[in-house]
Amino acid sequence: MTDNHQCVMEDGGQVHSNTLLEETFYVTSKKNTYYKVRLTEKGLSLEKDNNGATKVETIVLNDIIGCRCMRSKRKSAGSCVCGPGTSRSQFKLVESVEAYQSYDEFDTSAYLYIYAYTLKKARMKGIKRRERTTITLRFRSFDKYEDNLREASRWRLAIKCLIVGLPVPKSFMSPSHENLESLISACPGEQRKILVLLNPKSGPGRGRETFQKRIHPILSEAERPYDVHITKCPNYAREFVRTRDIYQWSGLLMVGGDGIVFEVVNGLFQRPDWEKALKELSLGVIPCGSGNGLAKSIAYAKQYSKISESKSFHDAIDGDPAIFDGSFDSCDDNEIISDNITLETEAERRQRLDSFYSATSAKSTYFSTGSISSYHSIDDPNNEDIDPENSSQVMYGPSSRLPALTSEVSNSWTQIEGEFVMVHAAYQSHLGQDYFFAPRAKLADGVIWLMIIKAGITRANLLQFLLGLNNGTHVTRSGVDMIPVKAFRIEPEEGANGYITVDGEKVDYGPLQAEIFPSLASVMSP
C-alpha cells in the first residue's frame, strides 16, 4: 500500500562516473525505504536504503533481455484504479505517442517493464538456473502522461542500446532532450524475424503448448518477432532449410527433440552455401522430444540445472503476476510496488542413412547392441511446398581428412582388436536429459568420446554400468574404457553378426568411419 505522506527525496549521493541514468524510487508498502536505481554499462544497480541501512542488488546487463513501455488501461466502473488483483493484462503496450482510447485518463504514469533472467543457485547441489525477474519502473513525476513517457523512453533507449552493444546516445540522456518521438524511434532492434521450426509430435507431443506458454513470452519480452512453421512430414525441416532463402531470418529456433536438429543440420549441409549459412544463422533448440541431448549438453556446459522444467523460471510466465500490492492514491513521487522488483518514478520414424553429418546429441554409433528409434511427425499428402521424397541427396560440408573407407589407415592410428559388447561414439556430454555419456566432454573441444566395452565384462559390472549412465559414473566401471579421439573406424570381422546404428537408425553391418569438425556452427545458449 502506498504511503500517502511520502515526498520526493533528492539523491544526495555521488553519481558514479559510468552512470548513464539515475533515479530515486520509494517502496509503496514500507515507510522510510527507498531505492536509488542506477543504469550503467554493466547493468542495473538497485541500492536499497531502509532507515539508513543500505543493500545493493545488481542485475547484470547480460541477464536483461528486453524492456517495454506500458500504460494502464481504463478500468471498468466500480473497480479500483490499481487494486490487489491488478495484473499485467491491465496494461497496454506503448510503441508510439498515438493515443489509445482505452487508457486510464486518471493515471498519467508511464510504466517501464525490464525483463531479466538472472542466474540463481538451486538449493539442491548448488546448480545454477535462470529465474525470471521483472523490474517495473513507474514514472509519474509529471502531470502529463507524455512527459512521464518521455522519461521512461529515455531509460528504454539506453537499455536497448546496451543490450545490442551499441553506444548510448548521450545527448538523448539529457533531461533537456524533450523530443519524445526521437527517443522512441531511436531504439535499436533486429528487423529480421527468427525462424521457428516446430515439430508438434515430438516426444510427448507438447511442442505447441511449450512454445506458446514458455517461449513466446520470452521472445515477446525481448521484442523479437518470429515466423513459425509446423513440420508436416518426415524431412520437412530438412527440405525447408535446404530450399528456402534462410537469410531473411536472423536465427533458427528448433522446437522438438534431437530429430529435428538432425534434419536442420543435414539440410544446411545440402546447401552449396552451407558455410555461409552456418556462419550467419545461429541455431537454437527448445527441448520437447524424447531425446534432448543437445539442449542438455548446452545447459550442462553452462552449469545450469534441468532444462525441461523449472518452476521458479516459468511460474511467472505461465500466469499474470500481480503487479500491485494493495491500493494506492496519487502522489508525486517514485515508488516500488512489489517484491518482484516493481519500481515507480516520482509522481513423427524414417531412414537417415544418407549422411553421417549428424550434429544432434545422438551423433553416435552403436556396434553390436545398438537400439533402433523412431521419429514421429505429421503426414500431410497435400503438402506442396516441401517434397522430401524427391529431394536431392547431394551433401556438401567440409572435406574429409580421412583415408577412403576401402584404404588402410596409417601407422599413426591406434588399433584395438578383439570382441566387443559395445562400441559407442559421441562428442557431447549428454545423449539425453538423463544420459550423462561423456562427463569430460566440452562444447567445441574437437573430441569424439569412444566408449568401448570388451567381451568378458561381468554381469554385475554391466549392471553397474547401466545404472551409472544417468550420473556419469559408468565410465569408472571395470571393463569400460572411454577414449578421446579425433576420428575412428569400425571394421567388423567377416562372418560376424551384430548391429550398427547411426544416430539411432540401423545401417548396413560393415566398415564405418567418422571424424569431427569442431566449431562449424553457433548455437544459442541460455
Domains, in order of start, for the chain: 19-72+98-186 (2.30.29), 193-291 (3.40.50.10330), 420-515 (2.60.200.40)
Per-residue confidence band for 124, with pLDDT thresholds at 50, 70 and 90: low
DSSP-assigned letter for residue 31: T
State the residue for C-alpha cell 559414473.
473
Q: How confident is the model at residue 41 (pLDDT cuts 50, 70, 90)?
A: very high
Which residues fall within 8 angstroms of residue 191, CB to CB, at 6 or more apart? none
Question: Is 156 a residue whose pLDDT tops 90?
Answer: yes
Mean pLDDT (the chain) is 75
Helix or strand (DSSP H, E) at 297: helix 293-301
The answer to whether 110 and 145 have CB atoms below 8 angstroms apart is yes
Give yes or no for residue 447 having a pLDDT over 60.
Answer: yes
Residue 438 has pLDDT above 80, yes or no: yes
- Mean pLDDT on 38-56: 89
What's the pLDDT score for residue 308?
32
**Angle CA(354)–CA(355)–CA(359) in degrees, nearest 5?**
145
For residue 326, give the 3-state DSSP assignment.
coil
The yes-or-no verdict on residue 485 having pLDDT over 90 is yes
Sole residue written with cell 550467419: 280
pLDDT digits (tens, 9 = 90+) for 61-70: 999 999 999 8
Residue 444, pLDDT > 50, answer: yes
Band (pLDDT 50/70/90 cuts) for residue 304 is: low
Contact 87, 111 (CB under 8 A): no
CA contacts within 13 A on the Cβ side of 514: 24
**Residue 489: strand, helix, or coil:** strand
Does residue 173 surpass a pLDDT of 80?
yes
Query: For 193-237, what is each residue's pLDDT tens digit?
Result: 999 999 988 778 888 888 998 889 999 999 889 999 999 998 999
For the cut 80, the answer to whether the pLDDT of residue 117 exceeds it is yes
For 120, the 3-state DSSP assignment is strand
- 388 vs 247, higher pLDDT: 247
Q: What is the mean pLDDT of residues 426-445?
A: 87
pLDDT of residue 123: 66
pTM score: 0.69
Phi/psi at 463 (5° precision): -65, -45
Q: Is the pLDDT of residue 125 over 70?
A: no
* pLDDT band with cut points at 50, 70 and 90 for residue 91: low
Backbone angles phi, psi at 233, to 5 degrees: -165, 165
For residues 504 and 440, what is the distance between their CA atoms, to the nearest angstrom? 23
- Helix/strand/coil for 484: strand
- Predicted pLDDT at 206: 82
**Interacting residues of 125 by C-beta distance below 8 A, sequence separation 6+:** 305
DSSP letters spanning 358-420? --STT--EEESS-----------TT--S--GGG------SSPP-SPPTTSPPPTTS----S-E
Reported as a pLDDT band with limits 50, 70 and 90, residue 83 is very low
414 falls in which pLDDT band (50, 70, 90)?
very high
